[in-house]
Amino acid sequence: MKVVVIGGTGLIGSKVVGRLQAEGHEAVPAAPNTGVNTLTGEGLAEVLDGASVVVDVSNSPSFADDAVMEFFRTSTTNLLKAESDAGVAHHVALSVVGTDRLQESGYFRAKQVQEDLIRDSGLPYSIVHATQFFEFMKGLADLSTVDGTVRVPPAKFQPMASDDVAAAVCRAAVAQPLDGMVEVGGPEALFLAELLRTALSAAGDPREIVTDPEAGYSGAPVDESTLLPGPDAELATTRYEDWLAAQQQ
């Protein structure tokens, strides 16, 4: 089966391509550096020729409100039209747990537009909602730093390894379309401050971490459970401390 992976040279995309190829599928990475640009439409018709499934794990190069909205609206519209023209049978998209609860954030408003376009397209689809990745804990701390102090809300997080995210996306890609959404997350729900203390300690980063009820997440207010998956989520088994230990070997 030919599967085209949009964003297929990035962190998740490259893992999806590798897993699908190991399973015997023709997995083709598609990104600007392979000659495929969903914003302009360049290379889409050619790469989708003969494809059964398209997996979209791409992300906006800018998280500024207008830029991220333009990216997801334009790229998703172009991609869905090209898929319809090519007769693609299944569209799989990676999105984020809690997207519909974080609409005060420009990034999550754009992700919601992406999901709405997919649902309204008439194409068979599956949307994979994943929690945040272990790999981005330090980046999250950087985004939350004010005057040298990391300020985070009193919210719980259930992050997961990028390998487990890729595995979930692959499961969706080779299964029948859900015409709906599946949630995936890590095995542990931990307070964000606790996670970041572990991450920064492992990196030898001395920044202080403060729990601040006024702090948001990506510009949106959150409570303790906003960022957690629901009770029916598929949970991976890789624990954060075990993943950290493996990175340091």
DSSP 191-215: EHHHHHHHHHHHTT---EEEE-TT-
- Using DSSP's 3-state secondary structure scheme, residue 158 falls into coil
> Above 90 in pLDDT, residue 248?
no
Q: For residue 163, give the amino acid letter.
A: D
**Distance of alpha carbon 190 from alpha carbon 240, whole angstroms:** 10
* pLDDT per residue as tens digits for the range 7-29: 999 999 999 999 999 999 999 99
> pLDDT at position 155, please?
95
**Distance of alpha carbon 177 from alpha carbon 53, whole angstroms:** 10
The burial of 207, by beta-carbon neighbours within 10 Å (0-12 exposed, 13-18 middle, 19 or more buried), is given as middle
Query: In percent, how much of the chain has pLDDT > 70?
Result: 100
Q: Please report, for residues 81, 100, 128, 226, the alpha-carbon distance to residue 120 in angstroms, rounded to integers and kept in the order given.
A: 12, 16, 17, 26
> pLDDT at position 219, please?
86
Cβ atoms of residues 17 and 6 within 8 Å: no
Q: Where are the domains of the chain?
A: 2-247
* pLDDT per residue as tens digits for the range 155-190: 999 999 999 999 999 999 999 999 999 999 999 999
> pLDDT at position 63, please?
87
Domain 2-247 CATH assignment equals 3.90.650.10: no
Q: Give residue 131's pLDDT band: very low, low, confident or very high (50, 70, 90).
A: very high
Q: For residue 13, give the amino acid letter.
A: G
- Using DSSP's 3-state secondary structure scheme, residue 233 falls into coil
Most confident of 116-120, 196-200, 215-219: 116-120
**Distance of alpha carbon 84 from alpha carbon 72, whole angstroms:** 18
**Distance of alpha carbon 34 from alpha carbon 17, whole angstroms:** 14
In the predicted model, what is the mean pLDDT of residues 21-42? 97
